[in-house]
Each structure stands twice: as structure tokens, then as C-alpha cells.
């Protein structure tokens, strides 16, 4: 008791000073206030800015690095100014860029055809592939030690990032070589791409890996007996690298989405023309290599195994060909087999794809991914 009264005497002035705090907390229905505050925060992202500003997300990859150069060199700004809009370019990790796109935090994003299908499209976000930029023509590879062949893979541990183009490539390799019956016997080890090189090379017991460049180059440079036994040049046009924009952005009633599409397409083909050996090629290659911190030599080596659609005509021809439908069918069947289209999708046709000639692969009521060649065509005709 003595101690307590001592404390209260000593603390009396301090407690008096705290009284206003007490009234502030005590009187207000503070929990209700908290709820309102949280709701306000939750609702805030829905408010849209009126200024026609567009954000493009990209991630490090030979075929996407040019977006960085395009923004840095001022090419993009020139095109954006021409159409009276603002375009921001932002770099992400690949998975994070897809999350941001699906979360509608960015308007357009670079991704492969497979992720375009199993991330935004399968999540119900109607997406449009605006630019068909390139396809992997050897960038993705199955690597093995000790002269293993594909037929010897069942039972061996295979390190790869599961549910990505790596797994797709592996299954296609087995398929093409008549080994599709043995796909279920493959022992897959999901390995983060950030640790794959070290983990694979660190132990001679790891015999097989499937990955992409520049990781492929790093492994081949350091692992003496490692050889590629299959690569994406044997499945040309199946691993496409796209620029995808949300369809609702493209169709904004004020027409700013169309202006954005025109500006970015125009800027892209100006950039690619430089990259493919036009005037300013060195600058474009240096700038794109800098985007990922690669050396110029390494970036050039990656470009060699990337089939760049360097003119709008090449891209339009591919996007309007019957080939793309066959390739996309392989990809969508893969996605469906692996439940990448969602747990409750009962048919592969429930995530339908629409092509430039208006044909639809799947249920025409449920078109989620559209290939649109019209902007590339405008570029081809020089009408941008």
C-alpha cells in the first residue's frame, strides 16, 4: 500500500496530463471508427486518376529488355507525346509483374503466352495481346549431365520452376520424342530460379535441370559435363513473348486506350528496328543489355536464341497464321491438364482465346484472351 501511494503521488502530474487522451479514447466509438478507416483504405484503389497515364510493367528477359531502352532513350516519350498521353515503364520481378497486372495496378505487362492464359485470363481478366514480340528459339533448354538422354529421364530428379514454360518444354520434349507415356514418372523438384544455378551445380548428384537464359548460359559455362539435350528451338512459336493490355483499358470510352496502344506499338517497332541492325543498333543493344545488368556479349548471345519479330509484317503474319492457333492449343491443353486455369474450371474451353480473324478457340461466351493484330498492322502500313 505504501509503495502504491508513493507511486500515485509521484505520477499524479503525469496522469493528469494523460487525461485528455482518456477522453479522446473513451468517448468515441473507436472500433466503428477503425472499421470506417479500414474500409476507406480498402476502397481507395478504386478511385481512378482522370489523366490518361498508363503504366507498363516489364521484367528481365532478352525479348523485354528493350522496353527499358525504349523508355530511357526517349523513343517512348516522343510517341506518347504524339498521342497526348503519358506512359510509364516499370520494372518488376516476373511473378510480381503478373500479380500487379491481375491486381489492376498496371495497365499493360510483358508475359509469355502461357502466363497470359493461366494468370490474367484464367482469373477472369479479359486481356488483349497487343504486340507479339518474339518467341523463344533456344532460350529455354533441358540440361543434363553424363550424356543422359530424354528416355533416361524418368526416375531421375529434375530441377525446374514448376508450372512454368520450363515444365511445358520438358513435357513437349518427351512428347515429341514419343515418350509421352512416361511423363507421369518424371520426378520434378520445384526450385526457385534465384537459387537454381547454385543448387544444380553444387552437387554432382543433380543430373537434370530445365531452365531459361541467362541461367542456361551460366550453367553451361560452369558445369563441365552438362549438355543441352532439348531446347525451345525445336518447338518454334510455342513460347511466345507478348505485351498484354487489359481489354477494358484498351476500350476506354474516351479513346485514350486506343491512343496508348498506338503509341506503345509505334515506339516498340522503332526500338526493334534499331535493335535488329538499323541505325543506332549498338546503342539499342547496349541500352537493352544494361536493363538486366548483362554484358553486351551475353545479351547478344541471348538475342541469337530469341526469334525477334523485328518488323510489324513478320509479327502480323505470325499472329494471323493458322500456326498460332495450333501452338496455343498445345499451351492451353497443358494449362488445363495442370489445373493452371483454376480448380473449378471444368473444361479447357472455359478460358477461350479469340484470334485476329475472329475465330474463337473454346466457348465463345467466355473469351478471356484476345490476339489483336490491328495495331501491329497499322505499324506495318505506316499509319501510326
Q: What are phi and psi of 13, to 5 degrees?
A: -60, -40
Total residues belonging to the chain: 384
Q: What are phi and psi of 241, to 5 degrees?
A: -110, 120
Cα–Cα dist 221/211, whole Å: 14
Distances from the Cα of 269 to the Cα of 85, 145, 375, 376, angstroms: 18, 40, 11, 9
* Residue 118 in contact with another protein, rule: CB under 8 A: yes
Distances from the Cα of 218 to the Cα of 112, 196, 200, 239, 352, angstroms: 22, 11, 11, 21, 38
* Residue 5 in contact with another protein, rule: CB under 8 A: no
CA distance from start to end of the chain: 87
* Residue 304 in contact with another protein, rule: CB under 8 A: no
Only one of the segments 190-198, 304-312, 325-333, 356-364 lies at the binding site for another protein (rule: CB under 8 A); that segment is 190-198
Contact of 237 with 318, CB cutoff 8 Å? yes
Cα–Cα dist 98/120, whole Å: 8
* Residue 95 in contact with another protein, rule: CB under 8 A: yes
Only one of the segments 82-90, 193-201, 271-279, 284-292 lies at the binding site for another protein (rule: CB under 8 A); that segment is 193-201
Residue among 192, 346, 358, 365 that touches another protein (CB under 8 A)? 192
* Residue 164 in contact with another protein, rule: CB under 8 A: yes
Does 343 sit behind a cis peptide bond, omega within 30 degrees of 0 on the bond before it? no
* Residue 128 in contact with another protein, rule: CB under 8 A: no
Q: How far is the CB of 8 from another protein (least distance, A)?
A: 12
Only one of the segments 168-176, 189-197, 236-244, 253-261 lies at the binding site for another protein (rule: CB under 8 A); that segment is 189-197
Q: How far is the CB of 15 from another protein (least distance, A)?
A: 11
Q: How far is the CB of 26 from another protein (least distance, A)?
A: 5
- How many residues bind another protein (CB under 8 A)? The answer is 47
Residue among 125, 150, 328, 331 that touches another protein (CB under 8 A)? 125
Longest Cα–Cα distance of the chain, Å, equals 94
Which residue ranges make up the site for another protein (CB under 8 A)?
Answer: 22, 25-27, 31, 34-35, 38-39, 42-43, 46, 95, 99, 102-103, 118-119, 122-125, 159, 162-164, 187-192, 194-195, 198-199, 202-203, 205-206, 338-344
Amino acid at each position: 500500500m505504501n509503495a502504491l501511494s508513493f507511486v500515485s503521488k509521484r505520477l499524479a502530474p503525469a496522469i493528469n496530463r494523460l487525461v485528455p487522451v482518456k477522453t479522446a479514447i473513451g468517448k468515441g466509438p473507436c472500433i466503428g471508427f477503425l472499421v470506417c478507416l479500414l474500409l476507406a483504405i480498402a476502397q481507395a484503389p478504386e478511385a481512378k486518376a482522370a489523366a490518361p497515364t498508363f503504366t507498363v510493367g516489364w521484367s528481365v528477359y532478352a525479348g523485354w529488355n528493350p522496353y527499358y531502352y525504349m523508355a530511357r532513350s526517349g523513343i517512348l516519350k516522343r510517341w506518347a507525346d504524339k498521342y497526348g498521353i503519358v506512359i510509364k515503364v516499370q520494372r518488376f520481378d516476373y511473378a510480381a509483374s503478373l500479380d500487379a497486372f491481375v491486381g489492376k495496378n498496371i495497365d499493360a505487362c510483358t508475359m509469355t503466352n502461357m502466363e497470359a492464359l493461366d494468370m490474367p485470363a484464367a482469373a477472369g481478366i479479359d486481356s488483349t495481346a497487343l504486340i507479339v514480340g518474339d518467341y523463344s528459339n533456344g532460350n529455354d533448354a533441358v540440361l543434363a549431365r553424363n550424356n543422359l538422354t530424354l528416355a533416361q529421364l524418368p526416375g531421375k530428379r529434375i530441377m525446374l520452376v514448376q508450372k512454368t514454360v520450363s515444365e511445358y518444354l520438358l513435357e513437349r520434349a518427351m512428347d515429341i520424342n514419343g515418350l509421352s507415356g512416361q511423363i507421369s514418372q518424371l520426378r520434378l523438384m520445384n526450385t526457385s530460379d534465384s537459387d537454381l544455378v547454385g543448387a544444380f551445380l553444387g552437387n554432382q548428384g543433380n543430373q537434370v535441370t530445365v531452365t531459361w537464359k541467362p541461367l542456361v548460359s551460366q550453367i553451361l559455362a560452369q558445369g563441365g559435363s552438362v549438355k543441352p539435350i532439348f531446347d525451345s528451338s525445336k518447338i518454334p512459336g510455342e513460347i511466345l513473348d507478348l505485351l498484354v493490355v487489359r481489354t477494358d483499358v484498351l476500350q476506354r470510352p474516351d479513346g485514350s486506350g486506343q491512343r496508348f496502344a498506338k503509341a506503345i506499338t509505334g515506339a516498340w517497332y522503332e526500338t526493334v528496328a534499331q535493335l535488329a541492325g538499323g541505325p543506332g543498333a549498338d546503342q539499342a543493344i547496349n541500352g537493352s543489355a544494361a536493363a538486366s545488368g548483362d554484358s553486351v556479349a551475353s545479351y547478344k548471345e541471348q538475342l541469337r536464341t530469341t526469334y525477334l519479330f523485328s518488323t510489324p509484317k513478320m509479327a502480323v503474319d505470325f499472329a494471323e497464321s493458322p500456326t498460332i492457333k495450333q501452338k496455343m492449343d498445345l499451351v492451353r491443353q497443358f494449362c488445363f491438364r495442370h489445373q493452371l486455369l483454376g480448380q473449378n474450371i471444368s473444361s479447357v474451353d472455359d478460358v477461350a482465346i479469340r484470334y485476329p480473324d475472329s475465330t474463337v478457340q473454346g466457348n465463345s461466351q467466355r473469351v478471356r484472351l484476345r490476339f489483336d493484330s490491328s495495331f501491329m498492322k497499322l505499324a506495318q502500313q505506316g499509319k501510326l
